[in-house]
Amino acid sequence: MKAKMEDVVLGVDTHLDIHVGAIIGEFGKLLGTRSVSTSSAGYLDLYRWACSFGSVSRAGVEGTGSYGAALCRFLVDKEVTVFEVNRPDRAKWRLQGKTDPTDAESAARSVVAGIANAIPKQQSGACEAMRIVSVARRSAVKARTQVINQLRAILVSGPQEVRDRLWKTRALDCANACARIRSLGDGVLMETLAFTLKSLAKRWTTAENRYRPLLMLSVFNDQ
């Protein structure tokens, strides 16, 4: 009769360029560690390596929503149940030291102990599409807000006659007024002020026009 394969658990410490895996056996013994690249070939190498120790049905992966997202999808496609593992406390890193193989081993042991029991969200379909657009929209809003705040801060602290001439309540009106500046007067201060206000106004207008499709999506309107 064919011998039953040992059930082993994979733990992975994820990074931008490499992932480090560790395999824990049925009786809690560390069977090995391995580093792979963050690529399709690297994920396949990690999976085949893990399977060389036994049957891999569970894995603990750090950063399933960021660095480990692609690996998580790969393992799920291989019918491996992936559990999300919290990254180690940074204070403990400083006190005890940190190594990637140790973190990978800890990820696997947290699955064995039942500490890691959260199933990662599947990054696919409509929900993932909404998340991606939401990320882009937040950055667009932030960039546009930052520029208009800088422009208004300069107007507030600038000469009163400049503020009286260019300050507008609506951001669009304020940016348009500054974009139309030809001259604010002679001298280094006035010339620099005119150049800076006009530049900021053009940046705001560019952000407004470029990201308008994202900014106008009602489903993502700020509450």
Domain residues for the domain of 154 are 125-220
| 117 within domain boundaries | no
Task: Answer yes or no: is 76 within a domain.
Answer: yes
Average pLDDT of the segment spanning 181-195: 92
Last residue within a domain, chosen from 112, 142, 177: 112
Q: Dihedral, CA atoms, 62, 64, 67, 71, nearest 10 degrees?
A: 100
Q: pTM for the complete prediction?
A: 0.64
Q: Among 86, 112, 138, identify where a domain stops.
A: 112
Residues 97, 137, single domain; the answer is no
Q: Are the CB atoms for 201 and 151 separated by under 8 Å?
A: yes
Identify the pLDDT of residue 143: 85
Residue 120 falls within a domain, yes or no? no
pLDDT digits (tens, 9 = 90+) for 115-137: 887 877 666 666 667 777 777 77
Q: What is the mean pLDDT of residues 148-154?
A: 94
Q: How many domains does the chain have?
A: 2
Q: Tell whether 61 is covered by a domain.
A: yes
Res. 71 pLDDT band, cuts 50 70 90: very high
Task: Mean pLDDT check: name the lowest of 104-108, 110-114, 122-126, 130-134.
Answer: 122-126
